[in-house]
Amino acid sequence: MHTQVIQIDPDHIDLSSIRLAAQKILDGRLVAFPTETVYGLGANALNGDAVSRIFAAKGRPPSDPLIVHIYSLDQLNQVAIQIPDLAYRLAEKFWSGPLTLVLPRNESITPAVSAGLHTVAVRMPSHPVALALLRSANVPIAAPSANLFSRPSPTTAQHVLEDLKDRVDIILDGGRVDIGVESTVLDLTSDVPTILRAGGLTLEALRQVIPNCVMRNVYLGEDESAASPGMMMKHYSPRAKMLLFDGERESVLRSMVDEARRHHRAGVLVFDEDEGVFEGSGVATSRLGSESDLAQIATNLFSAMRDLDQKNVDVILVRGVKREGLGLAIWDRLVRAAEGRVISK
């Protein structure tokens, strides 16, 4: 398979390119496309063979279910059944946007999408290229992040190409994505609405509509994946071992400097405020942005991890963020990338 990369300006979408990509989807092939969260690797959610190509291309275990994307509320019935009123209220407020709802699955959605579960995860992305593709194909599109399994999620078309060259038919290159971390996954099939994964929509925003919603916060080892789909600990990881430091800034920075000295070539995911600390020390740095700007940190997070990997560091050190707003999703990605190695100071 040869991968074709097609540039698309999200502000002036060329419909002939979109039609070409939509036809690939209808032919059962794979198309990577930008969403507002990260790049997705899409296939027709009604076609079992097409969906199995996603798992093969990513090396993703079949026990890890995919998110189905739609462009209009009219399509929701094709994806899910027994849709509660709350789903429509949430959709009205937060769609299109980075909120995924887990609902009972309509049988038209191929079981492979949901790893055999009777539920399905569904969302309406807001990126104009994603919406144009969905509208043109006019079928629900299953799409996980367009990276190799357990690698950092892609926030540019270049990242997709790095991981999936010749494993995907078309990459629609709509430039760098906006949010940079994946959607918030909310389970509406449990007794109490439960956040299964922190993401681009904050807990605080969700609580305005569902004050009683809770957050499940478990990190599982790979062998336990079946118990809780797709919530494995090792995820979003750079190649180098990562260590996450938590605690008061001064003592954290001191231990990071000490730790860096113990390695041949250390890399640091660095906040603007901390850059001076590592200057001239021989460590490789990649900037996350200002510590106080969580949106900027989210945007930069995965590409900064990839950047340090390309600098061939043997360890990556990072200081934790405050765990509120987007910080919850960022913290979650950091813990997973560090495979749970959190050093408290």
Question: How far apart are CB 93 and ligand AMP at their closest, in Å?
Answer: 21
- Residues 95-154 binding ligand AMP (CB under 6 A) are 102, 114, 117, 119-121, 144-145
Q: Which of 6, 185, 244, 315 binds ligand AMP (CB under 6 A)?
A: 185
CA 242-246-251 angle, to 5 degrees, is 110
Partner in contact with 327, chosen from Mg ion, ligand AMP, none, beta carbon below 5 to 8 Å by kind: none
Tokens of 192: 């109490």
Q: Which is nearer to ligand AMP, 15 or 218 (CB)?
A: 218
17 counts as binding Mg ion under rule CB under 5 A: no
Write the CA distances from 64 to 117, 149, 250, 317, integer angstroms: 10, 10, 40, 28
> CB of residue 292 vs ligand AMP: minimum separation in angstroms?
27
Query: Over the range 133-160, which residues count as b (16 or more CB within 10 Å of their CB) and which as e?
Result: bbebbebbbbbbbbbbbbbbbbbbbebb
Query: Whose Cβ is closer to ligand AMP: residue 256's or residue 301's?
Result: 301
Place of tokens 């919530």: 231
Query: Which CB atom, from 106 or from 155, has the smaller least distance to Mg ion?
Result: 155
Taking the C-alpha atoms of residue 336 and residue 234, their distance in angstroms, rounded to an integer, is: 5
Q: Count residues binding Mg ion (CB under 5 A).
A: 2
Paired tokens of 209? 């509509």
Least spacing, CB of residue 145 vs Mg ion, in Å: 3
C-beta of 97: minimal distance to Mg ion in Å? 18
What's the CA angle centered on 216, arms 180 and 151, to 5 degrees? 35
Q: Applying CB under 6 A, what is the total number of residues that bind ligand AMP?
A: 19
CB of 144 to ligand AMP, least distance (A): 3
Element (H, E) at 50: helix 48-58
By a kind-dependent CB cut-off of 5 to 8 A, residue 171 interacts, out of ligand AMP, Mg ion, none, with: none
- Residue 175 host element (H or E): none
Stretch that binds ligand AMP, among 73-81, 226-234, 265-273, 294-302 (CB under 6 A): 226-234
- 214: CB partners within 8 A, 6+ apart: 192, 193, 194, 195
The DSSP bridge pattern shows strands 184-187 and 99-104 to be parallel
Amino acid at 127: H
| Binding to Mg ion, residues 142-201 (CB under 5 A) | 144-145
Q: Least CB distance from residue 196 to ligand AMP, whole Å?
A: 5
| Binding residue (CB under 6 A) for ligand AMP from 64, 169, 173, 309 | 64
Summarize as ranges the residues that interact with ligand AMP (CB under 6 A).
Answer: 64-67, 102, 114, 117, 119-121, 144-145, 182, 185, 196-197, 229-231
Summarize as ranges the residues that interact with Mg ion (CB under 5 A).
Answer: 144-145
